[in-house]
Amino acid sequence: DAGITQSPRYKITETGRQVTLMCHQTWSHSYMFWYRQDLGHGLRLIYYSAAADITDKGEVPDGYVVSRSKTENFPLTLESATRSQTSVYFCASSVVDSYNSPLHFGNGTRLTVT
Amino acid sequence: AQTVTQSQPEMSVQEAETVTLSCTYDTSESDYYLFWYKQPPSRQMILVIRQEAYKQQNATENRFSVNFQKAAKSFSLKISDSQLGDAAMYFCALRNPPMDSNYQLIWGAGTKLIIKP
């Protein structure tokens, strides 16, 4: 089915471990985004990508790494997870290079760092 | 700095009634887009409605409409004939014209909408 898929849906990991959250979209959208959602903060942008091999930092990039070797995939890696990175993570995509394009979101990954 | 404020952490409404969710924002830009997204318990973010700042006419999508007051920097969402399926978190978001390829959306903290049967 067409859409944007995130995996896993839930993840528990220990402090200091590396963890990768996956995001796959079937629309061939140019833009992809990673947000984290914390209570009382709405969504905050971690990283975004304008196209394959082009990524840039958002509002809260520290502790995260992204890559985009293919248009359809945009994985997010926590190199050494910390408790402050416990959050719900959303991947999103946008069809065109325009600020009036809505974002299409995945279902999110709830990450708990113990 | 751009900001989006949703002053109502929680709202409740009787089924079939009308409810209005508030959103105020701050930006120095003259052209921008405003969005309302819905997040049901399934967690997925769903676009409800959007409004371009240059358009004076308020956007409408079926039972959802906005009251856009540009001078007051207010962008409220009205839900008519509320249904149980409208129960969700609602987020207001602002998107400025692109500068340096930064398409960051600025999000409010959200309003939890409860529908009473």
* HEC sequence for B56-84: CCCCEECCEEEEEECCCCEEEEEECCCCH
Residue B104 has pLDDT above 90, yes or no: no
Report whether B13 contacts B117 (CB < 8 A). Answer: no
Place B2 in a pLDDT band, splitting at 50, 70 and 90.
Answer: confident
pLDDT at A17: 97
SS3 readout for chain B: CCEEECCCCEEEEECCCCEEECCEEECCCCCCEEEEEEECCCCCCEEEEEEECCCCCCCEECCEEEEEECCCCEEEEEECCCCHHHCEEEEEEEECCCECCECCEEECCCEEEEEEC
The nearest CA of chain B is from the CA of A69 a distance in Å of 20
Q: Residue B98 has what pLDDT?
A: 63
Closest-CA distance, B24 to chain A, in angstroms, reads 14
Cβ separation of A43 and B43 shorter than 8 Å? no
Whole-number mean pLDDT of chain A? 91
For chain B, say whether A42 makes contact (Cβ under 8 Å). yes
Share of chain B above pLDDT 90, in %: 72
Q: What residues of B are in contact with residue A103 (Cβ under 8 Å)?
A: 45, 47, 105
Cα nearest neighbour of B96 on chain A: A99
Q: Which of B33, B44, B50 sits opposite A105 (nearest CB)?
A: B44
Pick the residue with more confidence: B72 or B105? B72
CA angle B49/B47/A97 to nearest 5° reads: 95
- Give me the pLDDT at residue B70, please: 94
pLDDT at position A1, please?
Answer: 55
* Residue B65 CB burial class (10 angstroms; 0-12, 13-18, ≥19): middle
Residues of A in contact with B42 (CB under 8 A): 107
Q: What is the mean pLDDT of chain B?
A: 91
A85 φ/ψ angles, rounded to the nearest 5 degrees: -90, 5
pLDDT of residue B92: 96
Q: Is B95 on the interface with A (CB under 8 A)?
A: yes
Q: What is the mean pLDDT of residues B21-50?
A: 92
Q: Which of B32, B44, B108 sits opposite A107 (nearest CB)?
A: B44
pLDDT of the residue at A95? 79
What's residue A41's pLDDT? 73
Average of per-residue pLDDT across A5-30: 95
Question: Is residue B103's pLDDT more than 70?
Answer: no
Q: Confirm or reject contact between B68 and chain A (CB < 8 A).
A: no
In tens, the pLDDT along B36-54 reads: 999 998 888 999 999 988 8
Question: Average of pLDDT values for A52-64?
Answer: 92
pLDDT confidence band for B28 (50 / 70 / 90):
confident
Q: Would you place residue A114 in the very low, low, confident or very high pLDDT band (cuts 50, 70, 90)?
A: very high
Task: Name the least confident of B5-14, B15-24, B54-63, B78-87.
Answer: B54-63
% of chain A at pLDDT higher than 90: 75
